[in-house]
Every structure is written in structure tokens, then in C-alpha cells.
Structure 1
């Protein structure tokens, strides 16, 4: 069988939208040694394809990072296969999506990377084996009630904007690799205090906790399973929920509703809103927050310019898109990072 997808993504998306097969969205990761990442990747692709698994998976010598959608009827088969892959994966925690419509992914992408999360760490002495202590939901709540505890959000600014834990500190950066040294610098005066780090599913904050210990910090914790596992445990155990708003996720949903609170604003008009969208202009695809009124007014575009662009002929659009590199096209209102992304919206 082919070890990559050969059907257009547009067609695959339509198939999933029309398919009523119940699916379960899952995320998981594990830091463990993979001797031959390419062989491991190909083995995964063959078996996951046979099971109908969709999603995005990164494989590297340091482990695996996955966000996937599994046919609910194949969930047990999937777990048994995963647990047999390596002793490190036996009974691995699987984070089940909090708010799931079964349409989170429409293609299977498995890629071999240098690392399962880009961190920018080049220090040969850094060791993931020396990581912070796990904090489960109950421990997190107990520690967070202590005013001497510092809670650090290790996600990007656009994730923090729509939802975060009470009293959490944002590391104002666009990427994880930038956040690591910034977190160390920001916390220099608090090396002996309890520090809890968290992220979406646990992979970033686990590595961040190891990095902080590497840099001389002593009492470092990381939230077990991240926000997703925390919310599920809070429901199961009847605990107080200290997360407010929406949990941003990197799939078609772009967010899981955790509480009814809307703590962010539309990037175009300033009304309360927390729905992330991508500008429908194929030459833009800016990720930004848009309310329903602005979606109608701007025809799901981020600006008047993009609204006008989508009404050009296909030939004109193609010509204007030629050579455009979108890169990380994410809206950011921070004055310290003003750029052409923020000038797209006349009301900003």
C-alpha cells in the first residue's frame, strides 16, 4: 500500500463531513527512544490506515506526538495496537477530547521530525529524564490555592487569549522555542517557589519543566495530561474547575468549550467572541477571532482587502498569490510584536 495520502484534501474533507461514522478525537504523546523513526512511521501509517485513523502525528528519535480521530468502534483495537508498539507505550494516557463533533481531522499525516515538539534546545547536557513532578487535577487545584505558587501557561498567545487558568502567567511569545528561555528569564527571582507549568495536552509543559530544572529551578511541576486531561478529571472527580473560557486545539475544531465564559474579543469589532477562524482568502488564511456579525459583514474574511480579493477572478487570484509565503499567519495584537498581520483590520 502507499505510505502517504493520494486523494485531494478537499475531497477527503467532504467525505468526512458526509460520513456519519462515530469518531473519537484523541491526543497523546510519549518521550521514549525510537531507534529508526522512518521505519516506526511507516509501520504506524500501514496500521492506522487500515483502522481508519485520521490526524496529525510527529515521530522523532525522542518519541511520538499525536492528535488523531479514531472510529469509535475501532477504539479498543487502536489501543491494543498502540500498547503493543513499545513497552514505553503500555497503558499510555490517551487524552479524550472534551468537546468533540467527530470532524476534527480528515486526512492521516505522519511525519518524521527532528523533535516531536520544536524547542530550540541545543545543549547536549539537557536530559528529558530529569523532568518536573506530575500534578494531577486535585494536586493542581491544591497548589494553585497557595498564593506563593506560580502558574505558567506554556502555550502560544492566541491559545492563552481565549482561555486559561486562574492567575496564570502568559509567556508573551509566538512559539514554544521562544518561550523556554523567556520563562527562565522571567522566573529568575522565584527559583525556590512552587512553579506549575501547563499546556494543552502535556507535551510542551513536560519538556518545559525539564528545561527549568536544567536551568537551576527546584520545585517544578507540570500538569498531567494538560488542560484536556484536567477538565476530564475535574468532571469525573467533582472538583472545582479553575480553567476559564475555551481550550484552543490544533485541528478543524480550533477550540473546545470548557466554560460558558467568553474572555476574549472579536479582532475586528471588539465584541465578546472566542471563535477562531482562518480567513477564507487563499492568499491569506490568517488565524484570528471573529464574531458572527463580522463573519457576515466581511464574508468570513479578516479585512476589506481580503473581502475584495475573493471576488476577483480565479486567474487574478492565482496571479496575485504567486510567490506568497504565508508562514505563521496568526493575528497578534501585542504592541511589542506589531507587524503586517495586525494592520489587516481597520478597527484595530
Structure 2
């Protein structure tokens, strides 16, 4: 029984290009009590590998978080499979606005302690006691209310390229950093303010809404389906679009354009730009914003030092990637001291 990938990303990329078949990029999540995440993980891998599904999926005792690429011709088969799992029957699927054959190049199903890392160790906290879900229309009405505080539950590098007008955008690196920060900032308004939250697809808000209810907030709301579903509803129903810029996504596309506005800047030259890239030096792999001009000049690297590295023979580059300390730069997410125009 095959329980792991047998093809490299490059091999898979070549096969996808050769096939040229339409694929759908989508995501979903569900908080549920999974008794044996490892067994469930293997069940998913075997079934989805046969369906040619690719993506990144996390399974834990608290549920599942999935970001996938599915062959369009097998979507109904995929949906039938999900509906056959009791806690995934009719689960909301966030279909991407833009589709790309190469959004994912491998099928990775991993067991984690939690599907959203929160740093919480509180046995009295019930993640299923969530806030009120609102659609795009209700969301637009809510955020016009002067008694509403709108909070972006994403990280700084996500909100930097796009966010809702008037939203509080915490300058944080991780979801766990934002939980205590927001509670402290709004501690005097647990009774009188409406706390409205949004994120990419809803999974972080789901946990955050339950957390803030647990902490005593009385009026807690979340945008159902996140920015992805909001953009779809706005277009379908002809609603006013209150989001500006680009929506950061966690696949090879790194972003979906929601409006033409470019609200960020190239981290190297300061010119308007909202294109996230990873440094071409694999020993660095820093995520940052880079315009086409700087990409050409810097050979897709974040710094002159990294440009020097990529000129080295491949085996020497591999040696530079060895060791945990050398991989830590990836977590800076655009905060490297080598970037002149970082946020």
C-alpha cells in the first residue's frame, strides 16, 4: 500500500504540463474529534492519491485543514468521497478564484498536534463553541456599524498585500501571537463592541472566535469562508467590495488578486509591488516582496550574499543548507535586515 509520494515536484510538474488537464484549486477545514489521526491520514492519502489529488493537508485530533488541487473531471468523485465521511458531509469547499495547474505539486498529508497552531494549553477552551458566521452581505453591514471592531486574523506578510478597509491588522508573525495581543487591545470592550474577524478561508477565525467567547467577549462574529468566499459572493451578488488588494494564499501562486489596487511595495527598491517570492538561494528561501526589475537585477535573490551563493556548485550549496540554524530564515517572512523597504 503506497502511503507516500513516489514522484519529485519536478517530475510531477512535467506530467501536469504534458497532460494539460484542467485542475481546481480549493481548500476546506473542519473542527472535529478524530480518535486516530494517523489511521485517518493513511485513509485520505490512499484515496486521494488514486484520484490524482495534490496538496497540503494537516490532520489532528481536533480536525482537518486541507488545501488541494483536484482534477476538474474528478471533482464529483472527490466530493462524493468527502460526503462519505460523517463530519465532512457537505463541508464548505472554498474554490479558488484563480486556478493553476501547478498550485500544488505533491500530495502531503501530515499528522499534527493541532490543525492551527495556537500555543494554547487550556482544557476548558472548547473550539466548537464558535462565534456567529456571517456572509458577505451581512459582513458589509456589520463593518459599517461604528460599534464594530474589524480585525484581520492573518499575519503581517498576508495583510501587507491586501486587507479590508478600516481593519485592524496586527503586526504579528504567527496566529498565536495575535490572540493575546488582540485581547489586550480590546479588553475594555468585551461587552459593548462587536468583534468581527476575517482570515483567508475561515479556519483561523473559527478558532479565534471560540477563544474570544471563552475570554468573555459577548458579540463575536466571523466572515464565513474568509476572503476567498467573500470575493466570490461579492462578484456573484453585485455587492460592494470592501477588500482592497491581493489575498495571500498558501500554495505556489502565493496570491489571488481581488482588486487592481497594489498597496504594498517591493522590499528591495520600494516601488509599488505585491508579488511574493522565495529567495532563489535554497539555503535562505526567504519569503519577501520583489518586483520584476529587482528580480532580474538580483537574480531572484533577497541579497547580494545570496546571489553569490547561487553561483556556487550545487554540492557546495547543499552543504550550506545543512543544519537547523541555516533554515530559520524562512520564518522571517519579509523581516530580514537585508531588505531595505520591509514593512
SS at 1:210 equivalent: helix
> Is 1:345 the counterpart of 2:339 in the alignment?
yes
Say which is worse superposed, 16-25 or 154-163, in terms of deviation. Answer: 16-25
CA distance in 2, matches of 1:61, 1:315: 41
Alpha-carbon distance, 1:61 to partner: 1.2
Corresponding residue of 2:218:
218
Alpha-carbon distance, 1:136 to partner: 0.8
Corresponding residue of 2:149:
150
Q: Residues 53-92 of structure 1: matches in 2 within 5 Å?
A: 53-86=53-86, 88-92=87-91
Structure 1: runs of 5+ lacking an equivalent: 334-340
Alpha-carbon distance, 1:12 to partner: 2.2
- Are the equivalent residues in 2 in contact too, given 1:164–1:244 (CA < 8 A)? yes
Corresponding residue of 1:228:
228
Q: Residues 40-189 of structure 1: matches in 2 within 5 Å?
A: 40-86=40-86, 88-189=87-188
TM-score when normalising by structure 1: 0.94
Q: 1:308 to 1:328 in 2, by over 3 A?
A: closer
CA distance in 1, matches of 2:204, 2:283: 31
Question: How big is the alpha-carbon RMSD for the aligned residues of Structure 1 and Structure 2?
Answer: 1.5
> Is 1:310 the counterpart of 2:310 in the alignment?
yes
Structure 2: runs of 5+ lacking an equivalent: none
- Are the equivalent residues in 1 in contact too, given 2:165–2:242 (CA < 8 A)? yes
Alpha-carbon distance, 1:178 to partner: 1.4
Alpha-carbon distance, 1:36 to partner: 1.4
Q: 1:229 to 1:346 in 2, by over 3 A?
A: closer
- Are the equivalent residues in 1 in contact too, given 2:287–2:333 (CA < 8 A)? no
- Are the equivalent residues in 2 in contact too, given 1:299–1:307 (CA < 8 A)? yes
- Are the equivalent residues in 2 in contact too, given 1:303–1:346 (CA < 8 A)? no
Alpha-carbon distance, 1:102 to partner: 2.9
Q: 1:318 to 1:163 in 2, by over 3 A?
A: same
Alpha-carbon distance, 1:49 to partner: 0.7
CA distance in 2, matches of 1:111, 1:172: 29
- Are the equivalent residues in 2 in contact too, given 1:152–1:169 (CA < 8 A)? yes
